[in-house]
Amino acid sequence: MKKIVVIPGDGIGKEVVPATLHILQGFDLPFEYVYAEAGDECFEKYGTPLPEETLELCKESDAILFGAVGETAADVIVKLRQELDLFANVRPAKSMRGVKCLYDNVDLVVVRENTECLYKGYEFDVGDSAVAMRVITRKGCERIVRFAFEFAKREGRKRVTALHKANVLKKTCGLFKRVFYDIAKEYNFEVNDYYIDAGCLYMVTKPWIFDVIVTTNLFGDIVSDLTAGLVGGLGLAPSANIGERYSLFEPVHGSAPDIAGKGIANPTATILSACMMLRHLGFSEVAEKIERAVEKVIAEGKTTPDLGGNLKTMEFAEEVLKACREI
């Protein structure tokens, strides 16, 4: 029995997570779902956005399914990444029939280092200036680069691209670039690299040249949202946070307080995040069936209002579950 810690969080997290669980519970999966609290509402109730009880439950889990968090995101998601050493953030971006987007042939994955860089939180006041410390270690570079190549190998990808700014950040990005090419020698892939600014330009003008992208934390945070914009927005963008022992899966949209409680939130990103969880836990066939069902339902125009349809959150989930039975 796999123990899945479920953290709905704030706002629409309380709507998209139940919709996703409705689909998962339509399959005979050996999962035990354990609920935990985190986020803004949790802070108001307990004085902390991430209670120790929640952290301990996460440490006892086989996987964590997370919904959304509001203003306390840095104190919840970033802390979970640090505490659980979730060093790899995986963000797929794939064009989907029925979704209006810039290109219909995007199929790439951003692999982002998740625990270092400027997000270490080392910031200081120095006189009337503010200083942030960027931390890039050889160990951090080696494990995220190796993770990217192993991911590419497992998923049948052909090319791995590094994004950096080694022409300016000669020490930190220089280390990342050197480690990338050192590890690349161990694998049989096409490899190349771009400066981050040029890479962003190419993502917008010719995204089909990318397959697997690996980069450092801050750059990865930015370009993964950019690639989501290429394929329809954050409502369709799943993510996985992977470590040596723990794993957390979450949609990358926020808590959307403007529509929270209306039952119209698009649960696609959460559903697809759950599919990433299923694959990680060894249930690839179920994941593929759900993904195909999501694509079928959206292609048929059965969507939530953000994609031009009129379905409620749970109605969309029910359509996906129905399509699963037909596939």
Q: Which of 119, 246, 289, 302 is catalytic?
A: 119
Per-residue confidence (pLDDT) for residue 120, from 0 to 100: 86
Tell me the Ramachandran region of residue 10: left when phi exceeds 0, alpha when psi lies from -120 to 50, beta otherwise.
beta
Q: Which of 165, 289, 296, 302 is catalytic?
A: 165
Q: Which of 35, 139, 197, 262 is catalytic?
A: 197
Query: What domains can be seen in the chain, in order of their start residue?
Result: 1-91+235-327 (3.40.718.10), 102-230 (3.40.718.10)
- Judge whether 119 counts as a catalytic residue: yes
Q: Which of 10, 40, 193, 221 is catalytic?
A: 221
Note the helical H segments in 25-91.
Answer: 40-46, 52-59, 73, 79-83
The pTM of this model reads: 0.95
Q: Which of 62, 225, 312, 322 is catalytic?
A: 225
- Judge whether 62 counts as a catalytic residue: no
Q: Are 115 and 78 in contact (CB under 8 A)?
A: no
Q: What is the pLDDT along the chain (327 residues), one digit of tens a residue?
A: 999 999 999 999 999 999 999 999 999 999 999 999 999 999 999 999 999 999 999 999 999 999 999 999 989 998 999 999 999 999 999 999 999 888 999 999 999 999 999 988 899 999 999 999 999 999 999 999 999 999 999 999 999 999 999 999 999 999 999 999 999 999 999 999 999 999 999 999 999 999 999 999 999 999 999 999 999 998 999 999 999 999 999 999 999 999 999 999 999 999 999 999 999 999 999 999 999 999 999 999 999 999 999 999 999 999 999 999 998
- Judge whether 197 counts as a catalytic residue: yes
Look at the alpha carbons of 96, 101, 104, 108 in this order and tell me if their dihedral is positive or negative: negative
- Judge whether 193 counts as a catalytic residue: no
Per-residue confidence (pLDDT) for residue 196, from 0 to 100: 98
Chain centre to alpha carbon of residue 7 = 15
| HSE value, Cβ hemisphere, 13 Å, CA-based, for 114 | 30
The number of beta carbons lying within 10 Å of the beta carbon of residue 158 is 9
- Judge whether 128 counts as a catalytic residue: no
Pairing relationship of beta strands 212-215 and 2-9 according to DSSP bridges: unpaired
Alpha-carbon gap, residue 176 to 196, rounded angstroms: 13
Closest to 82 (Cα-Cα) out of 237, 250, 248: 248
